[in-house]
Amino acid sequence: MTTETLTATQERARPQPRRLALGSWLLSGYGIVGYLFLYLPIIIVVIFSFNDSRSTAKWAGFTIDWYREMLADRQIILSLWNSLFVAIVSTAISTVMGTLAAMGLERYSFRGKLAVDSILYLPIIIPDIAMAIMLLIFFNVSGIGFEPWRVQFLGNRLAVPYSVIIGHVAFNISFVAVVVRARLANMDRTLEEAAQDLYANTWQTFRRVTLPMLMPGILGGALLAFTLSLDDFVITFFTSGAGFNTLPVRVFGMIKKGVTPKINAVSTLMLLFSLALIFISILLRTRAGDEEETIQFGM
Amino acid sequence: MDSTPAVELCDVVKTFGEVTAVDHVSIQIQDGEFFSLLGPSGCGKTTTLRLIAGFEMPTSGEIRIGGETQGFRPPFRRPVNTVFQQYALFPHMTVYENVAFGLQMQKIDRAEIRRRVGEALEMVHLQGMEKRRPKQLSGGQQQRVALARALVNRPKVLLLDEPLGALDLKLRKAMQLELKSLQEHVGITFIYVTHDQEEALTMSDRIAVMNEGKVLQIDAPAELYENPKHRFVADFIGETNFLPVKIVQLHPDIVVELGDGTRLPAGWAEEHLRVGQEAMLSIRPEKINLYEERELSPPNATTARVQGTVERLVYVGTDTHHTVRLRNGDTIVARLQNFYVEEEPWEVGETTYAQWDAAHARVLSKE
């Protein structure tokens, strides 16, 4: 900072320094209260997952027993594997379908495009519970879906109802499509023309230019889908039928029998998982930001 | 040069909905020619280029490249390459990968690709930049990569869409000369789209001036400037004076009349004009000289002369622009070179006689 700007700042600040200080103090205070409101419950959950007592209200010393107990609980571990399996499979399917939907809506015009466009947003807008009931009715009426997919997943024998995976795909497609489409809309189309001009046919153009340029959007969409699938309770609960639990559904079942620090431990684990995913998505988005600059430079 | 044209457009029309972007355009471009499409924005020049490249398909008419009818052939099956206005370099690839892209798509073997990419980068003075990404290059360097990426394929025809538009003035001037000598060196037909008349005049062998989707005149730069055949061409290329006139006589010599009855001979008139019609007399400012009454020679049939008063002088270094108000109220500008410093200058309000060789005066349709 040069002396000139320093004096300028001082001069501007001089007329009402007191009030300004008070204002910024209040603003900081408001910020802190706001963050406490949001994060205090989470912090408490994390702290009491280490509490050496069955009580979730009084601190009685540090322990990792609840984590041990959690890991020993085969029901919890099984539901964790169920969650991961559903998330991975539904993310894979919805990423491909969502990306194709985005391409179709952004690049082609066809009869009924507006309708398809609006319908695609529905799962984002309507309440989960409405979507869940619609899916439940659909599976009941059609009679498909509730039979389990018996599969060996990383050494665990799972029986996952198709209905759960179909339900997750149904809402994830929309989120992937929206994210990919935003990326696609920002993409410079002359890049594709340039590829075609350089003898790349339609498939090669997609493979060598469009897809790599879209990749940050596709990965972002996939990550979003994965997180949403992992967190989902309502739709899973309604579409799973009897005897199938993902982690959130399992936690809900445990809470009915009373809150124990074991639930805190499970919640902390899920929190860590979500944090890791958010971290990856931020990393990806920063990289995507770099690319965006490039495109704008190229425009 | 008398072989088949490199590119031939036969009565090409392109409409977008209600809008006619290219309106019955016919052009023949010779092998090895530096050919420019010149016109204001929205005149259809870029659409014409995109039709040749295959990014757009003609509504009617035919495009032939090297004698071969293109029809609805997609861009990747046409023996042309394009340098895009904003370069359109692939941001996720290095300079080397960008330049090698076209060769890879043509399934040329790797050693050959390596050699040709090296050559192309050398040609545009970018050796040692292979590993960089486009965003790590300056505008001028990106421009060169775009050029190398197209030329490495040795196309029959190179299409350039305002490739210098994004560069600053000084770099643009340098690149103009470089492009021209590059074109002479590689001997490839260049089709160059620009709205900058000076750029077109500097580089082109021939220029097609376009407006509102139509080609108005195709000629060599000097011919275009000296002998415009259309009012728009006279106006768009360089500067000119337009005097509203009435045609008095067309044969054997052309004579027109100003509003105040002054009769002036002219060198050329548009063919469809008839005696008695209103028209525009176009005369370039540097063709006009100013005389005092005592300096005048006796009038003759090949010299046009009008009387007026000096109204304004604008000194621009090499020349001084003299605005002369004629007796009928029209003004003309004479651009006199500042040849002798000690010469007695004209003063505002002085009576003067503007005189020019009738051959330089052209009678153009008023529209």
Tell me the ipTM for this assembly. 0.84
Please tell me the distance from the alpha carbon of residue A76 to that of residue A254, in angstroms, as a whole number: 10
Q: Are B12 and B51 in contact (CB under 8 A)?
A: yes
B285 touches chain A (CB under 8 A): no
Minimum Cα–Cα distance from B54: chain A residue: A197
pTM: 0.80
Please tell me the distance from the alpha carbon of residue B244 to that of residue A199, in angstroms, as a whole number: 53
* Token pair of A21 as six digits: 């200080």
Distance from CA of A286 to the nearest CA of B (A): 15
Half-sphere exposure in the Cβ direction for B282 (13 Å, CA): 24
> Residue B343's pLDDT band (boundaries 50, 70, 90)?
low
Check residue A296 and give its pLDDT.
Answer: 33
Please tell me the distance from the alpha carbon of residue B207 to that of residue B332, in angstroms, as a whole number: 28
Check residue A1 and give its pLDDT.
Answer: 38
Q: What is the mean pLDDT of chain B?
A: 92
| A10 CB burial (10 A radius; 0-12, 13-18, 19+) | exposed
Task: Identify which of A172, A158, A164, A149 has the alpha carbon closest to the alpha carbon of residue A93.
Answer: A172
Substitution target in A186, A188, A193, A199 with the highest count of B β-carbons within 10 Å is: A199
Distance from CA of B149 to the nearest CA of A (A): 8
Check residue B340 and give its pLDDT.
Answer: 73
Interface contact B82-A194, CB threshold 8 A: yes
Q: Are B131 and B96 in contact (CB under 8 A)?
A: yes
Minimum Cα–Cα distance from A198: chain B residue: B102
> Which residues of chain B does A206 touch, with a Cβ-Cβ cutoff of 8 Å?
none
Please tell me the distance from the alpha carbon of residue A186 to that of residue B134, in angstroms, as a whole number: 18
Residues 53-72 of B with CB under 8 A from A: 53-55
Check residue A273 and give its pLDDT.
Answer: 85
Q: For residue A63, what are the CA distances in angstroms to A66, A67, B68, B155?
A: 7, 9, 83, 74
Minimum Cα–Cα distance from A215: chain B residue: B92
Q: What is the mean pLDDT of chain A?
A: 84
In a domain, A81, yes or no: yes
Instruction: Indicate the number of domains in chain A.
Output: 1
In a domain, A51, yes or no: no
Note the pLDDT tens digit of each residue in B105-139. 999 999 999 999 999 999 888 989 999 999 999 98
Check residue B283 and give its pLDDT.
Answer: 96
Please tell me the distance from the alpha carbon of residue B6 to that of residue A299, in angstroms, as a whole number: 30
In a domain, A213, yes or no: yes
Q: What is the mean pLDDT of residues B146-150?
A: 94
> Which residues of chain A does B113 touch, with a Cβ-Cβ cutoff of 8 Å?
none
Backbone angles phi, psi at B251, to 5 degrees: -130, 145
In a domain, A7, yes or no: no
Please tell me the distance from the alpha carbon of residue B93 to that of residue A277, in angstroms, as a whole number: 28
A198 touches chain B (CB under 8 A): yes
Of chain B, the percentage scoring pLDDT greater than 70 comes to 99
**CB nearest B101 (choices: A198, A212, A294):** A198
Check residue A8 and give its pLDDT.
Answer: 44
In a domain, A199, yes or no: yes
Looking at per-residue pLDDT, the higher value among B207 and A116 belongs to: B207
Please tell me the distance from the alpha carbon of residue A277 to that of residue A8, in angstroms, as a whole number: 45
Among A167-176, B152-161, B340-349, name the one with the lowest average pLDDT. Answer: B340-349
Minimum Cα–Cα distance from A194: chain B residue: B88
B74 touches chain A (CB under 8 A): yes
Interface contact B105-A295, CB threshold 8 A: no
Note the pLDDT tens digit of each residue in A161-194. 999 999 999 999 999 999 999 999 988 889 999 9
> Which residues of chain B does A297 touch, with a Cβ-Cβ cutoff of 8 Å?
91, 134-135
Distance from CA of B8 to the nearest CA of A (A): 19
**End-to-end CA distance of chain A, in Å?**
34
Q: Above 90 in pLDDT, residue B338?
A: no
- The CATH number given to whatever domain includes residue A249 is 1.10.3720.10
Task: Find the radius of gyration of the CA atoms of chain B.
Answer: 25
Three-state DSSP class for B252?
coil
> Which residues of chain A does B91 touch, with a Cβ-Cβ cutoff of 8 Å?
191, 213, 291, 294-295, 297-298
Residues 152-211 of B with CB under 8 A from A: 153
Q: Are B298 and B304 in contact (CB under 8 A)?
A: no
A276 lies in which domain range? 66-298
Q: Report the C-alpha dihedral over residues B176, B178, B183, B189, rounded to 10 degrees.
A: -30
In a domain, A1, yes or no: no
In a domain, A166, yes or no: yes
In a domain, A93, yes or no: yes
Low-confidence ranges of chain A (pLDDT < 50): 1-11, 13, 291-299
